[in-house]
Amino acid sequence: MELGAAVTVDMTATPEQVWAVVSDVTRIGELSPETFEAEWLGGATGPELGATFRGHVNRSGSGVKYWTTCRVTSCDPGRSFGFDVQGPGGGVLNTWTYEIVPSAAGSSVAESFLLSDRPGTRFYWKLTGKRRAQTNVRGMTQTLNRVKALVEA
């Protein structure tokens, strides 16, 4: 059972330009339909492997709002940026990743999410996976199109 999904959008911008936007978590409110603000934690001021930040989420626009703590797991300028979303007790709930590949037009950018393969997340996915995957695919498409608009302006 696949516990995630991915979306790819081509952009007329360099991989470095794209990476500068997707790795700046303080800009998430401009990009994401669900996470409307984020801030670096523990003295971090920008992306680096192991840095933590917290994001303020409005789940599916439902009005259910909460903070979640994240840890940077991939930080390769011009290539990738990723982070784990921490659950209660510090366990990883899911991982979000941006992979950036140079293309003839500029960059091909993939955003993906993958739930942790644990009994609780497998059960959650079995109950709501199709609907949640559709919501996340719409959100990732919106996010990447907003990144595209910024980097191509």
Q: Who has greater pLDDT, 89 or 20? A: 20
pLDDT surpasses 70 at 106: yes
Provide mean pLDDT across the span 50-76.
90
Proportion of the chain above pLDDT 70, given as a percent: 96
Provide mean pLDDT across the span 41-55.
96
User: By CB neighbour count within 10 A (0-12 exposed, 13-18 middle, 19+ buried), where does 72 fall?
Assistant: buried
Q: Is 30 helix (H, G, I), strand (E, B) or coil?
A: helix
pLDDT surpasses 90 at 109: yes
pLDDT surpasses 90 at 89: no
Q: Show Cβ contacts of residue 32 under 8 Å, excluding neighbours closer than 6 positions.
A: 139, 142, 143
> 4: pLDDT confidence band, cut at 50, 70 and 90?
confident
Q: Which residue's entry shows tokens 């140079």?
A: 102
pLDDT surpasses 90 at 88: no
Domains identified in the chain, total number? 1
**pTM, whole model, 2 decimals?**
0.90
Q: Which domain holds residue 20?
A: 4-152
Q: By the 8 A CB rule, do 151 and 21 touch?
A: yes
The CATH number given to whatever domain includes residue 97 is 3.30.530.20
Q: Identify the CA nearest to 138 among candidates 30, 18, 33.
A: 33
> 10: pLDDT confidence band, cut at 50, 70 and 90?
very high
pLDDT in the model for residue 61: 63
CA 150, distance to chain mean position in Å, is: 17
- Cβ count within 10 A of residue 124: 15
pLDDT in the model for residue 60: 66
Q: At what angle do helices 119-152 and 15-22 cross, to 10 degrees?
A: 120
pLDDT in the model for residue 114: 87
Q: What distance in Å separates the CA atoms of residue 82 and residue 101, rounded to the nearest whole number?
A: 15
pLDDT in the model for residue 137: 87
Provide mean pLDDT across the span 58-75.
86
